[in-house]
Each structure stands twice: as C-alpha cells, then as structure tokens.
Amino acid sequence: MLGDKKVVFSGVQPSGNLTIGNYLGAIKNFGAFSEEYKCFYCVVDLHAITVRQVPADLRRRTYETLALYIACGLDPEKNTLFVQSHVPAHAELSWLLNCYTMFGELSRMTQFKDKSAKHADNINAGLFTYPVLMAADILLYQTDLVPVGVDQKQHLELARDIAGRFNQAYSPTFVVPEGYIAPTGMKIMSLANPESKMSKSDVNQNAVVYILDPKDAILKKFKSAVTDSDTAVRYAPAEKPGVSNLMTIYRCFTGKDYDAIEKEFEGRGYGDFKLACGEACADALAPVQSEYARLMADKAYLEEVMKKGAEEANYCARKTLSKVKKKIGFVI
C-alpha cells in the first residue's frame, strides 16, 4: 500500500522492438489499473544488459519503450513511468536480496535455462541472478499486484518466496505480491514455431509481429504463419497449436470468444482467417502507432516524463531500502 492505494508494478526490457506478445500479455493490460492503484511502470534497462546490447540501440529503445507505454494509453500524470537505471535502489536491493536467494532456486528457473541455451557464448552471472533483480524491482515499491505474461510466473513465485523469507528472518518488511495474468493474452506464440514464445529477440523476423510493423508487413506475416494440413479453424492448442495461437491473437484484438471465431470461419479456409487476423491486428495497432510517432518527435517531453518518474520512484524506493538496511543491521 502507498497511502490509501494498493500498488501495481511491472516492467518491459528495452531489448528489442516490442512485439504483440509484449502488448497483449502485458502493456495493453497496464492502463486498467491506473485509477484504482498506484502504478509504477518501468523500462528495465538493467535487465536488458543480461544479453549483449549495442549501446546506441539500447539508448534509442529506452526512449521507444517509454513512448510506447504512453502511446498504449499510460498517462504519465496517473502512472509513474521511469527508467530502472535512474533509480539506484534497484541495483542495491538486488545485491542484498542475492544473499537471501538460494543457488538451487535460481538454477531451476526455466528462463535461465532457455536464455543460456540461446546465448551459449555469454552465460553471465547477471543472466543467472536476473530473477533477484526482478524481485528487487517489485519489492521496492511494496507492490501488491504484478501484471505479467504467463512466462514470468516462475520469477514472480520466487519474488514471493524471497519476500516471505526476509519477512520471516527479521519482521514484516515487504508486501508479498500477487501476480495478475491477463485472462486473454496469456502467452502469444511465435508465428513460425507455435511451440515457442513470441520473443522480441527472435532472429526470424517472420515469426514475430512488432507493435510498430506497418500494415503490409503485418498482413504478410499472418499470411505466412505456420498452421497445419487441416482446414478447420478450431481451438485445440495441443493438436493445432498454430491455428489456436492465431485464434488467441484474433480473440485479443476483437474481443470475440473461441466459439464465435469458429462459427465465423466455418467452411472458410485458413486464407480468409489469416487475412482477418492481420486486419484486426493492424487496425488495433494503428492508433498506437500514430501516437507513438507523435511522441518520438518530442524527445524533450519524453525526458521530462523520465525525470519526473525517476523522482517519484526514487522517493518510494529509498524508503524501502533504508528499512531493509536497518533490519539487516547496517549502520545507516
């Protein structure tokens, strides 16, 4: 709680161009909390460097991610929007929490296993302790609710365990956060390989629809999406993962449920269905894209938002950090 409001925290890494997975699984749902909760939405640049980044790209994407937050409906007057590295308490608390996190716990994290396999030449310690930094992000703001995609559920569980362990070792210090997984977005899968998550760092551009893709690229990507040799538009994730993934995307963009979608495309082939998916996606993203273009032309405004956000976030974060240091026994 902060004042009389419960707290929401979430973040997105500026590690690539944001995808419709990031949009449907996370950002699109953030705005719904702004009235009822005190919301902190962070551009998590410290997390992004667990994978090697080109400096100029990282800097540009930090602005882009912030602009996308706003373009997707997050009003900086109602939400604290900030950049993680502008609030030193994240890195500091992360070190402290490292000492309350077990090696075995981190070894079990599936994201670590996946990313180590993907980046075998750079399995750095940051990749391993990533979930501890994520726990610090969340716990610093005494967060009640964390809206994330289902892929982050395991990290969130760990954050809860770390909070509980610290509270038990000393006395209640952290709110133990709950996750909020959007009922529709869940996990958007790659268009080229529906068995794996759609990821912004995927090297196959056709597998991923970016929020900023122009309409013709969106239509083309949906047209070439992997389906199956059947022709029926039917929701059956195990049997028809490609079509089911497209149905989830169509459902998220149109609000229609799976039964309605099956009826709508009964007796029609995949071609019609894929075109409808592409159209629905492009139509929904068009207003986000034009607002984004307007914001990116006003860098001074984005810098103002970052500065104000960092001040608000620093104020709250420092309070928690000094409480933690006292409990541990540091002279402060």
Catalytically active residues are: 115, 197, 200
243 scored as a contact of ligand AQP (CB under 6 A): no
**Residue 113: which H helix or E strand, with range?**
helix 110-118
22 scored as a contact of ligand AQP (CB under 6 A): yes
Distance, in Å, from the CA atom of 106 to the CA atom of 93, rounded to the nearest integer, reads: 17
**Cα atoms found within 13 Å of the Cα of residue 235, Cβ hemisphere only:** 15
Is 114 or 264 the residue whose CB approaches ligand AQP more closely? 114
For ligand AQP, the binding residue among 7, 8, 9, 15 (CB under 6 A) is 15
245 scored as a contact of ligand AQP (CB under 6 A): no
Length, in residues, of the chain: 332
Is 114 or 161 the residue whose CB approaches ligand AQP more closely? 114
For ligand AQP, the binding residue among 8, 9, 16, 139 (CB under 6 A) is 16
201 scored as a contact of ligand AQP (CB under 6 A): yes
Distance, in Å, from the CA atom of 200 to the CA atom of 15, rounded to the nearest integer, reads: 7
- Helix 153-169 vs helix 110-118: angle between axes, to the nearest 10 degrees? 130
Interaction with ligand AQP in 65-94: which residues (CB under 6 A)?
none
* Least separation in angstroms between CB 231 and ligand AQP: 26
For ligand AQP, the binding residue among 8, 9, 21, 137 (CB under 6 A) is 21
Exposure string for 175-204, b = 16+ CB within 10 A, e = fewer: bebebbbbeebbbbbbbbebeebbbbebee
Is 10 or 173 the residue whose CB approaches ligand AQP more closely? 10
Here the tokens at position 14 are 């500026």
**How many positions of this chain bind ligand AQP (CB under 6 A)?**
21
* Least separation in angstroms between CB 245 and ligand AQP: 10
Query: Within 10 Å of residue 55's Cβ, how many Cβ atoms?
Result: 8
For ligand AQP, the binding residue among 149, 194, 242, 278 (CB under 6 A) is 149
* Least separation in angstroms between CB 109 and ligand AQP: 12
Strand order in the sheet with 38-43: 79-83, 38-43, 7-12, 145-147, 178-180
131 scored as a contact of ligand AQP (CB under 6 A): no
DSSP state of 2: B
**Residue 81, strand partner residues:** 41
Is 211 or 219 the residue whose CB approaches ligand AQP more closely? 211
For ligand AQP, the binding residue among 7, 9, 17, 25 (CB under 6 A) is 25
From 85-93, 197-205, 243-251, 301-309, span contacting ligand AQP (CB under 6 A) = 197-205
Are 148 and 10 spatial neighbours (Cβ–Cβ below 8 Å)? yes
Q: How far is CA 304 from CA 37, 83, 259, in A?
A: 23, 12, 46
E strand map for 149-207:
178-180
The 167-196 site mask, x for binding ligand AQP (CB under 6 A), equals ------------------x-xx--------
For ligand AQP, the binding residue among 62, 84, 94, 199 (CB under 6 A) is 199
Are 188 and 249 spatial neighbours (Cβ–Cβ below 8 Å)? yes
Would you tell me which residues interact with ligand AQP (CB under 6 A)?
12-13, 15-16, 19, 21-22, 25-26, 148-149, 151-152, 185, 187-188, 197-201
